[in-house]
Amino acid sequence: QKNTCLNYMTLRPELEATLIYCLLSTITILSVVLNLLVIISIYHFRQLQTCTNLLLLSLAVADFLVSSVQMPFQIFHYRGCWFLGDLACVVYYYSAFLVVSASVGNMVLISIDRYVAICDPLFYTTKITIRRVKGCIGLCWLFSTVHASWILREMLRQPDMYNTCIGECVLVVNYAEGIVDIIATFVAPFTVITVLYLKVFAVAVFQARAMRSHVGSLALPRSGTMAKKSELKAAKTLGVLVTVFILFSCPYYVFSVAVESSQIGASSGDIELWLVYFNSCVNPIIYTFSYPWFRKSIKRILTLQILQPNSRDSNIL
């Protein structure tokens, strides 16, 4: 018979616990609201349904799942004892692997989109189409679902197999699975993202210098065209998005590699994990400061103008 986890709970001073709960709850609510605004904006206004924005929509869905599922579960898990049952424990870990993998996949797709837009602008409209973007987004979420199902295949069959006491929610990942997970969701995608954005940055700098010196036509690439100013601005904004994502994610992956134990529990890497989750709140804040269309759409949503007839076809750009 298993013992209760109450004997092993981490007790913190009441004031400290209250302040932490308030802070994490505020971040959670803010993240839910902001990502919901992004989803409604891009989904509602047809003018915003471009290839790049569809990728941002997919990323916002992943961020919304983080803020509406992972963050509340993590707050509940904060004290170290799990009272929601084995099924909720499986949902907690499954959602974690799903949304992290989907977020990384969306970042790779965003990097590819910007690479083609800046480095091969002549063929951007033929290579990057709405249909292809939707297909890639579907494959990204399919891969994330398969990946999460494979990692948790044993836990899905027996949810409490790793628990040593009643009220515990623990996942044990063996060495081989851990290596595959790190390569699939960190090493490989982050290498692709870094290489693509280094090339984007190099080309963007070259084109900016060419435009400033008014001799761009003498030193253009073989494609014979240069990226539009709006594309360069979008690349800069999305570059900030990707950079922030990498900065917020790296500590957790470094922690995962460095830790010798393969057991992932409530007390393991809490700060690093919350950095990954906090990135879901930062993304829409970046949109707010970078995209005028997002600020306009927020105003129309909050003032309920989206309920008016034909509001989907409004000029929002």
Q: Which residues of the chain have pLDDT under 70?
A: 1-13, 78-80, 163, 208, 210-232, 234, 257-269
> How do residues 36-83 score in pLDDT, each as one tens digit?
999 999 999 999 999 989 999 999 999 999 999 888 888 877 666 777
Sign of CA dihedral 17, 18, 19, 22: positive
> How do residues 101-130 score in pLDDT, each as one tens digit?
999 899 899 989 988 888 888 888 888 999
DSSP characters over 38-83: HHHHHHH-GGG--HHHHHHHHHHHHHHHIIIIIHHHHHHGGGS---
Instruction: Give the model's pLDDT for residue 109.
Output: 93
- Encode 26-63: b = buried (16+ Cβ within 10 Å), e = exposed: ebbeebbebbbbbbbbbbbbeebebbbbbbbbbbbbbb
Assigned CATH topology for domain 15-308: Rhopdopsin 7-helix transmembrane proteins (1.20.1070)
Instruction: Give the model's pLDDT for residue 135.
Output: 95
Which neighbouring-strand residues pair with 255?
Answer: none
Instruction: Give the model's pLDDT for residue 98.
Output: 92
Q: Which of 171, 43, 183 is nearest to 104 (CA)?
A: 183
DSSP characters over the chain: -PEEGGGG-----HHHHHHHHHHHHHHHHHHHHHHHHHHHHHHH-GGG--HHHHHHHHHHHHHHHIIIIIHHHHHHGGGS---S-HHHHHHHHHHHHHHHHHHHHHHHHHHHHHHHHHHSGGGHHHHS-HHHHHHHHHHHHHHHHHHHHHHTHHHHH-TTTT-SEET---EE--HHHHHHHHIIIIIHHHHHHHHHHHHHHHHHHHHHHHHHHT-GGGS--TT-----HHHHHHHHHHHHHHHHHHHHHHHHHHHHHH-S--EE-TTSSHHHHHHHHHHHHHHHHHHHHH-HHHHHHHHHHHTTGGGSTTGGG----
**Tokens at 291, concatenated:** 């995209």
**Tokens at 108, concatenated:** 């790779």
Question: What is this structure's pTM?
Answer: 0.84
Instruction: Give the model's pLDDT for residue 264.
Output: 47
Using CA atoms, how far residue 197 sits from 126, 167, 174, 249, in Å, is 21, 45, 33, 17
Instruction: Give the model's pLDDT for residue 225.
Output: 53
Using CA atoms, how far residue 195 sits from 119, 192, 206, in Å, is 13, 5, 17
Q: Where are the domains of the chain?
A: 15-308
